[in-house]
Amino acid sequence: MTTNNESLFARAQLTIPGGVNSPVRAFKAVGGAPRFLVRGEGSRVFDADDRSYIDYVGSWGPLVAGHAHPEVVAAVREAAGRGLSFGAPTQAEIEMAELLCRLVPSMEMVRLVSSGTEATMTALRLARGFTGRSAFVKFEGCYHGHADGLLVKAGSGALTLGQPSSAGVPAETAAHTIVLAYNDCSELEATFKAKGGSIAAVILEPVAGNMNLVRPSEEFVKLARELCTRHGAVLVFDEVMTGFRVGLSGAQGLFGVRPDLTTLGKVIGGGMPVGAFGGRRDIMEYIAPLGPVYQAGTLSGNPVAVAAGLATLKLVQAPGFYDRLSGATRTLTDGLARTAQRRGVAFSAQSVGGMFGIYFRAQPPASYIEVMQCDKEAFNRFFHAMLERGVYLAPSAYEAGFVSSAHSESDIAATLSAADEAFAAVS
């Protein structure tokens, strides 16, 4: 018997390439038909067959307070009642900018945009305009959106589809992208020694989340800061995923490293499309209309999206929010690791704040190469076994997972119970 999800997927493929509007949604990496979701409530989502799942995707990170939080929904309704879009300045934009500059000390000025991709793309253009240089450094397996120069050995969906790069990216564009190994201090230092005078920027996921979760070494992050300072390059922290996910000041707050520019998204939109980039005042003043680096967005600072973001950022400022979130996430990852060990499955897990990674290998990976050594087929079997038991994980071995403040102790206990059966199926 064909399910509603299968029928919808067949129908979607007639008019939408691959049946989806973002590649990882297609379940191509894990097989089967994707779940078409119709509603979310707290820690759970419900699909077209009216099945309920404990959700660890959370719209890929934004829903740090869970689905349809009453305060966020109320803020959106109030804003929508006043108008959906103006293409003109609003007071809410100012409030968002002021709040971001207060919560993230490295952001002295900020520009709102409509997506994380737009934020990272513009941050690099700004770094090039500010320095007068063309080359930039990114790290293997890190995903910074789908701008041409960034789709070189990228993570996320590019890894899921087995495409480390993308067709349609001109060789002359990719030539300005220097790709190095994540967490490799000697390679980073040697590159700056050889090419430091031509490097406009280093863009870094301070906790990688698009080749699954990979933690940086403290030495690696601090070296990036030191080398950029010494050679006059701009250090860009891509905190689209980690911003307000791993702590109130993002990953930079955890590591005590101050980047020159920061990109944000996901949480600051509360589930709606919002991005931002900001940083040192002298760099940000190069952006039009003050400076020569052009950037514009018709719907930037959309009042409804900003309302959702402001409501979410109010929630995360509650005392103890991140302590509780981090504790719940550690309970999940520690429990999964113990359960796998009991079942004799080669497995490891780790977390940073409300983000987590699960790996079918004995130790958590520290680089793209180690990520690729994980048992992908074991993950695929585990994914489907968990889905059958009402737990919705990212449909790819190369994506981080997310816990929200809506996940209860009983949710995590139910997840671990499902995992016990799923690991048995994997082994």
My answer on whether 14 and 127 are in the same domain is no
My answer on whether 208 and 156 are in the same domain is yes
Q: Per the structure block, which two tokens stand in for 186? A: 């000697």
My answer on whether 45 and 144 are in the same domain is no
Find out whether 178 and 135 touch, Cβ atoms under 8 Å.
yes
My answer on whether 19 and 91 are in the same domain is no
Question: Residue 71 has what pLDDT?
Answer: 98
Could you list the residue range(s) of the whole structural domain that residue 345 is in?
4-68+319-426
- Whole-model pTM: value is 0.95
Q: Per the structure block, which two tokens stand in for 174? A: 């990719």
My answer on whether 99 and 192 are in the same domain is yes
Dist CA 40 CA 307 (whole Å): 19
Element housing 414 (H / E): helix 409-426
Dist CA 99 CA 118 (whole Å): 21
Interhelix angle for 321-342 vs 409-426, to 10°? 30
My answer on whether 128 and 94 are in the same domain is yes
Of 316, 345, 363, the domain-final residue: 316
Question: Residue 175 has what pLDDT?
Answer: 80
My answer on whether 305 and 327 are in the same domain is no
Question: CATH number for the domain including 46?
Answer: 3.90.1150.10
My answer on whether 282 and 248 are in the same domain is yes
Q: How many domains does the chain have?
A: 2
Of 269, 284, 316, the domain-final residue: 316
Q: Would residue 260 show up in a list of annotated catalytic residues for this protein?
A: no
My answer on whether 298 and 334 are in the same domain is no
Provide the residue-wise pLDDT of the chain in tens; the chain has 427 residues. 899 999 999 999 999 999 999 999 999 999 999 999 999 999 999 999 999 999 999 999 999 999 999 999 999 999 999 999 999 999 999 999 999 999 999 999 999 999 999 999 999 999 999 999 999 999 998 999 888 777 776 554 444 333 446 777 777 777 888 999 999 999 999 999 999 999 999 999 999 999 999 999 999 999 999 999 999 999 999 999 999 999 999 999 999 999 999 999 999 999 999 999 999 999 999 999 999 999 999 999 999 999 999 999 999 999 999 999 999 999 999 999 999 999 999 999 999 999 999 999 999 999 999 999 999 999 999 999 999 999 999 999 999 999 999 999 999 999 999 999 999 988 8
Find out whether 220 and 180 touch, Cβ atoms under 8 Å.
no
Question: CATH number for the domain including 150?
Answer: 3.40.640.10
Find out whether 153 and 140 touch, Cβ atoms under 8 Å.
yes
Of 298, 316, 334, the domain-final residue: 316
My answer on whether 300 and 374 are in the same domain is no
* Of 47, 184, 266, 392, catalytic: 266
Q: Would residue 238 show up in a list of annotated catalytic residues for this protein?
A: yes
Dist CA 394 CA 22 (whole Å): 13
* Of 47, 238, 260, 411, catalytic: 238
My answer on whether 60 and 120 are in the same domain is no
* Of 53, 56, 143, 368, catalytic: 143
| Sheet arrangement for strand 348-352 | 348-352, 355-359, 401-402
Query: 179: how many CB neighbours lie within 10 A of its CB?
Result: 17
Q: Would residue 266 show up in a list of annotated catalytic residues for this protein?
A: yes
Contact residues for 174 (Cβ-Cβ < 8 A; gap 6+): 148, 149, 152, 165
Q: Per the structure block, which two tokens stand in for 111? A: 């520009």
